Chain A
Amino acid sequence: MKPGDEILALWLEGELDGPQQAEVDAWAAAHPELLAEREAISLWKVDLRGVIAADQQPPFPDFFNSRIEQALRQPAQTQPRQNPASQIRSWWRNLAVPALAAGMALCFWLGTEFRPAPAAVTVVALKEPPAVYTPLSGVTVEVVSTAGNDGTVIVLEGLAAMPDSLEVPETSGIPGESSFKLVTNPDTVTF
């Protein structure tokens, strides 16, 4: 016979014992999805215990301690006195929500501790071709290596021609520093 929802919930959390446990176990044997769910909850509890050590205060301890105290006080005010075993089960249920919240807060805190790298950091040499993008429609971009593999060529096809009226300015190309060096002919440049 199918157990009640409350009994089933306790069974899923592994909080039943004795004949009640055996009765639900027998019924659940024909329901593999419930067995899997119970196993998942059990693993989750193990993981949670691994994340929050018993002697470690969760982040924002005052907040969470007050939540735990509040959760522990409420049943005492609204429910009749329970036997010790039931109190332990109830304590675990009450602790589960704040513990879950503590886990989420811990993840949030770890996220705030992440800092982006400084603007210019030393990186390993990257040999892959550069990423390229053109916002112009009808223009294609191709990246190739030079014949001697001593440089990279980006070929833009489909650009509008520059107007023939564009003149080389008189002051064009007179920087203070350049890798271009005049060779034998002073009007000739090299690099």
Chain B
Amino acid sequence: MEPVGRVGVTLIFGTNGDPATAGERAKPLAADVVARLQKSKELNFKNYRSLGRDVQPALRAHDNWALPMRPSEEVRVRFDVQGRLAGGGLRLDLELWLQQKKVLKTSPTLEAGRPLYIRGPAWRGGQMILIIELIK
């Protein structure tokens, strides 16, 4: 089946404390990404770390799952395509699942360069943030 696009899901950790609490496997973000995040008060932290990412093809009439902490299923994003925008974006039906529980259902419109951020649960003194974007 031909995908209508690709959706990237990145899980990051934002904290005003010591970012090392995220562990050695968590990587820092580039300075321009940090600057972009810090512009919004809802996403503004002193330090960030990347906890994982996943990119999945967006297939029509399919339940698509992205697991940014693969193989862990503690954080999962389910999405299915509702329609394509004239400019190449996608209208999605999207759910966030944490620890086998659905915690959010939404219907975002994803366009290239306009990600959807979900400020999620606290973890190790900071905050988990999901960045969901349309990949060209």
Contact = CB atoms under 8 A, between A and B. Distances in A.
Interface of A: 119-127, 130-136, 139, 141, 144, 146-148, 150-156, 159-162, 164, 166-173, 175-180, 183, 185, 187-191
B68 A173 contact: yes
B104 A153 contact: no
Given A159-B120, A189-B33, A125 B109 contact: yes
B29 interface: yes
Q: Is the interface of B mostly helix, strand, loop or mixed?
A: strand
B117 A150 contact: no
A176 B135 CA distance: 13
Contacts of B77: none
A181 to B, nearest CB: 9
Given A172-B51, A180-B8, A188-B28, A133 B123 contact: no
Interface residues of B, number: 74
Interface in B35-58: 36, 39-43, 50-55
Nearest to A182: B30
Contacts of A170: 25
B71 A171 contact: yes
Given A153-B40, A177-B135, A119 B60 contact: yes
B97 to A, nearest CB: 11
Contacts of A133: 104-106
